Structure 1
Amino acid sequence: MQQVQTKKQGKRLKNSRYISGFDGIRALAVVGVIIYHLLPYKLQGGYLGVPTFFVVSGYLITDLLLQEWEQNGRIDFWGFYARRLKRLYPALVFMLVGTGTYITLFQRSLLTNLRSIITTNLLYVYNWWEVGHGQSYFDRFNGESPFTHLWSLSIEGQYYLIWPLILTAMVLIIRKRRTIANILLVLAIGSGILMGFLYTGPDTLNRVYYGTDTRMFSIVFGALLAVIWPSTHLKKNITTRSRWALNIVGLVSLAIIAYLYFELSGQNTFTYRGGMFIMAIASTTLIAACAHPGADVNGWLTNPVFRWMGTRSYGIYLYQFPVMIFYEIKVQNIADHPLMNATIEIALIMIISELSYRYIEAPLRHYKYKNLGRSIYEFFQPNSDYGWKRLWLIPAMLLIGISVYGSAISPTKDAKNVLEENISKNEKTANANNKAALAKQKKASKLTANQKRMKKLLKKKLTVKQYKIAKHYGLNKRQYLTVYQQPLTAIGDSILADNSHDLQNVFQNAYVSAAVGRQIWQAGQVLTQMKKKNELAPNILINLGTNSPMTSAQINSVIKSIGPKHQIFWVTTHVPTRNWETEVNHTIRAAAKRHKNMHLIDWHGYSLNRRDWFWNDNVHPNPKGNIYYTHLIATSISDFYSKK
């Protein structure tokens, strides 16, 4: 995420080492994070690159502070803070101003809370703001913010502010490194336990994911390693046995990290009850092997590509979300060419990061701010050496002015558009109808679609009201009579919430539980609670997959929570603006083949190339699209029971 300086007052600390392999570790971490954001199906645990960044920071900062203490008998706090600010603030401010300007000019739907977001990021408390106001880090559709990823920078900023003071107190009072290491070990374990204790499900995810106290074990592990494994005390000349022991530790650590990258989903309970803790330990042992000059790990992780990515990892991390989100908002067919679009996004991120490194980060990191007054004076002199460069002041002031204006007018709550108002209205209607639907379902002792019952029903004439409903949704008499009293429990996200009125208009015994932003790992809890209350209908309709990727294991978990005595009808997703559409639908189709009581309703195929069925987001069906969506569900369920 960033490159830690190893200089003190412009001079390198005595015996200080530049460990080039750390650039490789940063590169692997930032690659994991970016691939996860762009292609989450390919690397579902890539977000775990952040704990690796934390461990690197914890190690390097503590190692340098201890070196300074050993060399000078003191730590220059103000010098340390100045170096941190010079390294971090310029690019952060540029990113905040540039993103705020773009939002103000071109993407005002993202203006909400802009003032609070910029302020809390400048104060490095944004992670705590996210706990109370932000969306889930794993909600990839519902109003995704270009600032969400900055939570980790706030945790690092808090660490830089507090840790030198704590470390100094420890060195003065405790003195013994072994005792300090034991205290840090207890703190790390306590933080990991707190994460597991506070995580009780999706509702507490933000608290444990963004909280400083629940995430600090990674940084503390890095600090602990610096105390017991100082880079300047490690000897290059070691036995062959020791060298290969370190190499094996490095290789095993890399293998564990790679495995977790591919296997550890952010929605897995184990992630917060041991998974991230294991990742932190693996990162710590990898850094230990890389730091030792007698091992080969440092050489393995050193090459020009890793060096370039490692030194620019801070900028790459900073600019990734704005580039991804603004690009994906403008390009509506991401799902058609996910790899091509991901490649374009990566190229844009790398170009912007390189420009930032060359013209913002590197120059301002080495600038002597004590000369700022003189520089400003010379800047405005007629014969100044700055010459044409002074013209850059115009766009700079424009960017700042527009960003400040956007912050000033930013609302604290989203103004609802027509789609959101429609969803809200339909949710209220569905909630009002649900109580009556449950009462009707409990009275029904058998499904209405058995053969004897159907023969009796088909002899009946439709009432005028029933005829109008059937005609409105394109249903014939058999189809309508098959489903209109069919007990149905519908679980879904905003797509289902938007459609709930139409669905209950046809399925008069339908109970609809839908929520904006709902994801698959939240569905199991809802279904389990309903099952305990004996409120699950014989038929279950599920519409999930809009807001994030899903795995086979997650689908299996949902089906298991429902049980084999229910028929499950799963709707494929239409979300062409996200790169996971194809993979989600492939996963749903594969699950339908594995489970006999799971049946596919192919909304994706049915609605393909029907842009006129959707609102401007090309994801949520408009009133016309909702008619076709309801028609497809009704005919699919009707056809299933007609064949029985």
Structure 2
Amino acid sequence: MNTKKDFSNRQTRPHHVTGIDGLRTIAVLGVIIYHLLPTQVKGGFLGVPLFLLISGYFITYQFSKKFERGRALGLGHFYAKRFYRLYPVLITMLVLTIAYITLFARELLHNIRQIFVTNILWVYNWWEIYHGQSYFDQFANKSPFTHLWTLGVEAQFYVLWPVIIYFLFKIFKKRSIVQYIVLVLAFLSAIEMAILYHPTTLNRVYYGTDTRAFSLLLGSWLGLVWPLDRLKKNISGTASRALDGLGLLTLIITLYGFISLDGQSAFTYYGGMFFYSVVGMVLMATILHPGSHMNRWLTNPFFTWCGQRSYGIYVYQYPVLVFYERAINVGVHPVVSGIEELAIIVIISECSYRLIEQPLLKQRLSDIKWDKLCFNNWRQASLAIVALLVVGTTVYGLCQPNVQPKKTDLQKRIEKNDQLTEQHNKQLSKGKNIKTAKISTIQKKYQLSKTEIERAQKLKVTAVGDSVMLDASDSLQQLMPHAYVDAKVGRQGSQTPKILSQLKDEGHLNQIVVLNLGNNGAMDQKTIDEILNIIGKDRQVYWVTPHIPTKSWQQQVNSQIQEVAKKHHNVYLVNWYAASNGQSGWFAKDGVHMNKQGNNHYAKLITKTILKHQ
């Protein structure tokens, strides 16, 4: 993320804008809370554009002043200072994370050398486009490095933009022309994001430097039209109140975006993210202006502390969250788990700030006399030994063969069931007779009576869900052979209205509808209302409560479904959570997807619940 700026040069900086630390704090908290509570703060990723705006502003402001004053650009010094600030924290995080993976999460060693090298070269965002997972994938084997794409975008900007802005001034001379060009470039970047956007290739527009450049360029444009040394403190009361009102309004809009903008919605890429970048730019402008009170309102000890450490907090936060959630079932006590995760992030970031960032600000690596290093006490010697062990473990991990992790039994079963379900659905669509197993066989397998099985085999059902339902689709269609199952890995609730509409248009939306949604995140009320409106009041809806102890939204989703069942006479609760809670023998390693035994119990519960209301 953007590093802390040096405001001591009064010739180029008329005052220390402490409120920018407040803006950094809002940005980094938005990102962290999004990772902790992705369903409640689903737009928290908008903290990243705020960081990019800050970077764009100060870099452009600094170099435009140098050019106008006829001073040397000093690119070598700028690059050295910038990367000296960025590299120590990044390398520390990479070393610690790879060491942890080597010891406790070896399946994540796949492609680890590529991840390490592309981060060191600041091109990791481009590697992510073609090899990484979606930033919004909440259920896959999450990589603790995903968030580092931002550093690649910023570092590429640091390298290229000073040269670009120099040539723009050199060629066009006038600041007004350069301003216009920079603004046009920002619009072109946003347009490119809209053109390239497609739900199946989301990584391209989300991680691409070109498609995310508009936030940096908007900040750069502000640096040209709103330079600090030209902003007057003594302005009229009316102007001051206008700035304050505009600042508060844009702050409210920004916070609203944090809780409302869906990262997987088409609107986000068809101008939504650009809109919030413009809003963030205006907010930053009011903070920067000495005639506004926004700077003072966003200045306090907490914001200062957090803003100064925002780079370290951002870099360390995601590995902490990923590794914590691999070890702890956060869905059981989400609030306690969230507090513990924040505490770990704060402790690590503070240690990094005091032991790495601050010392390096006072002393450069080149000034250290490595040949005269000695350990004056056992504590220093112990720390050195621990550091060597960690580095050694990291090197060992980097030297491991790059072997593609073998597919688990769960993955194989889901893939197989996906094919079987597709074939089954095609037979239903063509009106063909479905071959079923003997009733006695099904009766023995599912522990149901002959009468229940005979009734189940006559039911016409449409089942819509995610990977949990897909995993159990074979069991569902054994019990209810006329069940049309539409399930997909990673399906979000927000995608369901469109799917239901398609099923309805194709004639596949039966009178009985089973929903298994919520494993990948809670839904807002608007989505729930859309789902129920499309299904209609004349159909029966059986909504399955998920068992997701590893996710913070478990309780929220189950409460949502229970409330929906209470309010709507045609919605019935299939309480899979209550039936399966404590039945560890029914589940695969992740505690969410079932094994064969669990799939049978899952299908049996759904079938019995439907039969109860027929």
Q: Which residue of 1 aligns with 2:288?
A: 291
Instruction: Measure how far apart 1:103 and its partner are.
Output: 0.7
Could you tell me how far 1:386 is from its partner in structure 2?
9.8
Deviations 1:333-359 (A, max 9, x none): x12211111011101100100001111
**Match of 1:48?**
46
Select between 244-253 and 259-268 the one with higher mean Cα deviation.
Answer: 259-268
1:107-126 maps to which residues of 2 (within 5 A)?
A: 107-126=105-124
Q: Is the Cα contact below 8 Å between 1:209 and 1:215 reproduced in 2?
A: yes
How far apart, CA to CA, are the structure 1 residues paired with 2:572 and 2:132?
36
| Range with bigger deviation, 292-301 or 123-132 | 123-132
**Change in CA separation of 1:388 and 1:31 when aligned onto 2, cut-off 3 Å:** closer
Asked whether 1:263 is paired with 2:260, we answer: yes
Letter in 2 for 1:541: V
Give the AA of the match of 1:147: F
Is the 2:43–2:258 contact (alpha carbons within 8 Å) kept by the matching residues of 1? yes
Larger mean CA deviation between 223-232 and 149-158 belongs to: 149-158
388 and 528 in structure 1: CA distance in 2 versus 1, 3 angstrom threshold = same
Which residue pairs with 1:367 in the alignment?
A: 363
Deviation string 1:479-532 (CA, Å, 9 cap, x unpaired) is 222221323333322212221221121111233333332322344444444444
Match of 1:503 among 476, 501, 512: 476
**Greater CA drift, 334-343 or 61-70:** 61-70
Give the superposition deviation at 1:594: 5.2
- The CA RMSD over aligned residues, in Å, is 2.5
Cα distance in 2 for partners of 1:248, 1:596 equals 47
Alignment of 1:12-411 (within 5 A): 14-15=12-13, 17-71=15-69, 73-200=71-198, 202-332=199-329, 334-371=330-367, 375-379=369-373, 389=380, 392-409=383-400, 411=402
Residue of 575, 598, 604 corresponding to 1:631: 604
**1:99 counterpart SS class:** helix
- 400, 415, 421: which one aligns with 1:424: 415
CA separation in 2, counterparts of 1:549 and 1:247?
36
Instruction: Give the drift of 1:385.
Output: 7.7
Report what 1:437 is aligned to.
Answer: 428
Q: Using the TM superposition, give the Cα deviation of residue 595 of structure 1 relative to its aligned residue in structure 2, in angstroms.
A: 5.0
C-alpha contact 2:4 2:308 (8 A) present in aligned 1 = no
For structure 1, which segment, 406-415 or 133-142, has the greater mean C-alpha deviation from structure 2 after superposition?
406-415
For 1:613, which of 581, 586, 589 is the aligned residue? 586
Q: Is the partner of 1:569 in helix, strand or coil?
A: strand
Bigger drift between 286-295 and 601-610 goes to 601-610
- The answer (yes or no) to whether the contact 1:191–1:215 under 8 Å persists in 2 is yes
Q: For 2:70 and 2:483, how far apart are their aligned partners in 1?
A: 74
What's the counterpart of residue 469 of structure 1? 442
CA distance in structure 2 between the partners assigned to 1:259 and 1:55 by the alignment? 18
CA–CA distance in 1 between the matches of 2:110 and 2:540?
Answer: 42
Which residue in 2 is equivalent to 1:584?
Answer: 557
2:2–2:54 Cα contact (<8 Å) kept: no
Task: Please give the per-residue CA displacement for 1:71-90, whole angstroms capped at 9, x wherever unaligned.
Answer: 45221111111111111111
2:133 and 2:499 map into 1 onto residues whose CA distance is 20
SS in 2 for 1:589: helix
Question: How far does residue 564 in structure 1 lie from its aligned partner after superposition?
Answer: 5.7
- CA 1:376–1:72 in 2, change beyond 3 Å: closer, same or farther? farther
User: Relative to structure 2, which stretch is displaced further, 70-79 or 49-58?
Assistant: 70-79
* Structure 2 residues not aligned, in runs of 5+: none
Change over 3 Å in CA distance of 1:409–1:54 after alignment to 2? same
Q: Which moved more, 1:600-609 or 1:532-541?
A: 532-541
Matched AA of 1:5: K
Residues 377 and 68 of structure 1, relative CA distance in 2, 3 Å threshold:
farther
Amino acid at match of 1:602: N
Contact 1:260 1:279 in 2 (8 A): yes
Residue in 2 aligned with 1:549? 522
TM-score by length of 1: 0.89
Alignment-mate amino acid for residue 515 of structure 2: I
**Offset at residue 404 of structure 1 (A):** 2.7
Alpha-carbon spacing, 1:13–1:104, altered in 2? closer, same or farther (3 Å): farther
Name the CA distance, whole Å, in 2 between partners of 1:153 and 1:549.
30
Instruction: Say if 1:384 and 1:545 are closer, same or farther in 2 by CA, change over 3 A.
Output: closer
Q: What is the CA distance between 1:50 and its match in structure 2?
A: 1.0
Counterpart position of 2:6:
6
Closer/same/farther in 2, CA of residues 624 and 388 from structure 1, 3 Å limit? closer
Deviation at 1:536, TM superposition (A): 3.8
CA–CA separation in structure 1 for the residues paired with 2:164 and 2:530: 45
Whole-angstrom distance in 1 between the partners of 2:242 and 2:468 = 55
Of 168-177 and 420-429, deviating more is 420-429
Question: C-alpha distance in 2, partners of 1:337/1:271?
Answer: 32
Mark the runs of 5 or more structure 1 residues left unpaired by the alignment: 445-462
What SS does the aligned partner of 1:18 have?
coil
> How far did 1:247 drift?
1.2
CA-to-aligned-CA distance 1:38-60 (integer Å, 9 cap, x gap):
12343222221111111111111
Aligned length: 613
1:32–1:47 CA contact under 8 A, matched in 2: yes
Q: Quickly say closer, same or farther: Cα 1:604–1:116, change in 2 above 3 A.
A: same
Once residues 56 and 336 of structure 1 are traced to their aligned partners in structure 2, the CA distance between those partners, rounded to angstroms, is 38
Rounded to whole Å, the distance in 1 between the matches of 2:326 and 2:13 is 50
Deviation at 1:537, TM superposition (A): 3.8
Shift of 1:308: 0.2
Deviations 1:371-413 (A, max 9, x none): 46xx22223xxx6889974654433333223223223326463
User: Secondary structure, in 3 states, of the residue corresponding to 1:416?
Assistant: coil
Q: Is the alpha carbon distance of 1:610 and 1:538 closer, same or farther for their aligned partners in structure 2, counting shifts above 3 Å?
A: same
Structure 2 counterpart of 1:244, which letter? Answer: R
**Aligned partners of 1:438 and 1:594: how far apart in 2?**
34
How far has the Cα of 1:166 moved from its partner? 0.4
Q: In terms of mean alpha carbon deviation, does 34-43 or 577-586 score higher?
A: 34-43
For residues 451 and 170 of structure 2, the distance between their equivalents in structure 1, rounded to whole angstroms, comes to 84
Relative distance call for 1:638 and 1:384 in structure 2 (3 A) is: closer
The 2-side partners of 1:119 and 1:432 are apart by: 44
Are the structure 2 counterparts of residues 479 and 252 from structure 1 closer, same or farther at C-alpha, using a change threshold of 3 Å? same
- Note the C-alpha offset of 1:563: 5.4
The 1:425–1:409 alpha-carbon spacing in structure 2 relative to 1, beyond 3 Å, is farther
Identity, % of aligned pairs? 43
Q: Aligned partners of 2:209, 2:601: CA distance in 1, in Å?
A: 47
Contact (CA 8 Å) 2:477, 2:483: kept in 1 or not? yes
Q: Is the CA contact 1:556–1:591 (under 8 Å) kept in the aligned structure 2? A: no
